[in-house]
Amino acid sequence: MGDHLEKLNTNLKRVEELSQRLVEALANKGQNDPGLNGPGPDLYMKASMAYWSELVNNPAKLMERQVKFWADSVTHYAEAQQNLAQGKLEPPEDNTPDDRRFSNPLWKTHPYFNYVKQQYMISANAIEASLKDLEGLEHKDRQRIEFFAKQMVDLFAPTNFLATNPDALERAVETEGESLVKGLENLVRDIEAHKGEILPTLADGSAFELGKNIATAKGAVIYRNEMMELLQFAPTTETVYKKPVIIFPPWINKYYVMDLRPENSLIRWIVDQGYTLFVVSWKNPDKSYSDKGLEDYIEKGYLKAIDVVKEVTGSKAVNAVGYCIAGTTLSLTLSLLKKRRQKPISSATFFTTLTDFSDQGEFTVFLQDDFVDAIERQVAEDGVLDNKYMAKTFSFLRAKDLIYGPAVRSYMMGEAPPAFDLLYWNGDGTHLPGKMTVQYLRGLCQSNDFAERTFELMGKKLKVSDVDLPLCAIACEADHIAAWKDSYRGVQKMGSEDKTFILSQSGHIAGIINPPNKKKYGHYTNDDLSLSVKDWREQAEFHEGSWWPRWEAWLRTHSGKRVAARSLGESGYKILAQAPGTYVKETPEL
């Protein structure tokens, strides 16, 4: 008894200290534009007007929905009560669909938890059904209303609250409350780290060190300017293809997603196939970069990197790869080069790249004026878009997996974040220059000028049909960031007569970082790119395993003959730092 009392008193003292820290952390919450926290009032007005119009014009339908909800709720209550009245400590029949949030057996066997779960499901279904009945909404408005309604439904899941989460309650009993104290420690730590924001830490940051157990491919920085470091990776074959490969990763995150571990490193794999590989590592900008735009990324990033690679290798042209937003910007660069009548790029590869934003997919929610206006105001004040806003945006697109699930495990179960390299990389974000952010959101995403009209940049009118060199595009079937259907439509509008489109299984990261040795995800091909999205997919041929070897076979045809492997830092370019370089380690405070 004495030991239990001592432990209780110790925990209570820790709770008191943590509570004080919690209050201080919440008081220090940074100020940001309120428009970044939710939709503008116009969306609420549109939803209200649609509901009122439906109530006036078709009251029977809404009443039917309401009566069904009442009936389901009352019937459920009556069935639960009947079992209890008969002395049965068991729930009524449960026909709710499987949901991994409710994997604890008590959700099915315990009357209390089962009642809570079933009533939550009834309420969630009622909300979903009521939204389907709303008429007179534009497609984008409907998408947004459904998205925010789903956010509310997910937020109020019983698993998110201690009193209705059997896993958390069992853990608290097993640990004599220790799990709740650790959970509070985790909560305070996250709020302090994120300046008052409640964002769960997804991975154990202390488990990884760049260049030690992550991002370990051998290479060196051979050039550096204010926008990027250029890394050259050491050859692993005696001969290499004459034309080098240069990869432009997205500057929303850092390049080493392509070099997490030796066994899934795309960088190592490309080098092992006999290519001289260069990768750009972008600067993580601070407020002084507020006026840097797409033109700076193109001129001092893409074009300068290509010039250096050509000098180092002696090749007249390179094979360029762009990933996500870097693929979009590679398309702009190719259009610019055509206007300038220059041909330093032999072939282009696009990983999960959008160039046609006519259908914004799941990002529709965050690409309307209320949010973009708020972002524009925020970057005008801060100079850059803090990476926390991008992290929140991506997380809320998969809130169950990236917010509520981790929060439950961390704050209610008291678990430490896992040592997971991909989640560590995901949390190692970068800021975005203010000017570039607005250019991208207004001119490309909202106006879709590059695909539908012309996008004016660097004194030229750029358009997607200018992209006319041999190209290979890889999209991912379950990609919620760059939907494959939109990627496909953009490729269709490109002017090249030599196009290859590959559809990988899985999502934005796993579909790309899919090494052949894993044999995890397959891919689809179809040479007829004149087909509609639906017809292309239905007629596509499925192939087991990774798309990497298929792409490499295509790349080989654009890479010339084999020559002696090149050493690091040839042609007068000195080694400035060993890989992974210095820019990748920077996290400027704002």
Asked if residues 256 and 580 have their Cβ atoms less than 8 Å apart, the reply is yes
Report the SS3 class of residue 323: strand
SS3 assignment for 453-500 = CCEEECCEEECHHHCCCCEEEEEECCCCCCCHHHHHHHHHHCCCCCEE
3-state secondary structure of 583: helix
Q: What is the Cα–Cα distance from 204 to 425, expressed in whole angstroms? A: 11
* Count of C-beta atoms within a 10 Å radius of residue 59: 10
Q: Which residue in the block uniquely carries the two structure tokens 């940074």?
A: 30
235: Cβ–Cβ under 8 A, 6 or more apart, which residues? 271, 276, 565, 566, 567
Instruction: Identify any residues that bridge with 461 across adjacent strands, giving them in sequence order.
Output: 456
Number of CB atoms found within 10 A of residue 13's CB = 11
| Chain mean position to CA 79 | 43
324 included as an active-site residue = yes
Q: What are phi and psi of 550, to 5 degrees?
A: -65, -45
Rounded Cα distance, 335 and 578, in Å: 34
Q: Tokens 């390299």 belong to which residue?
A: 421
Active-site residue, selected from the candidate residues 324, 445, 472, 476? 324
CB atoms closer than 10 angstroms to residue 365: 22
Alpha-helical regions (H) of 494-544: 533-539
Residue 402 is classified by DSSP as I
Q: Please identify every residue annotated as catalytic.
A: 324
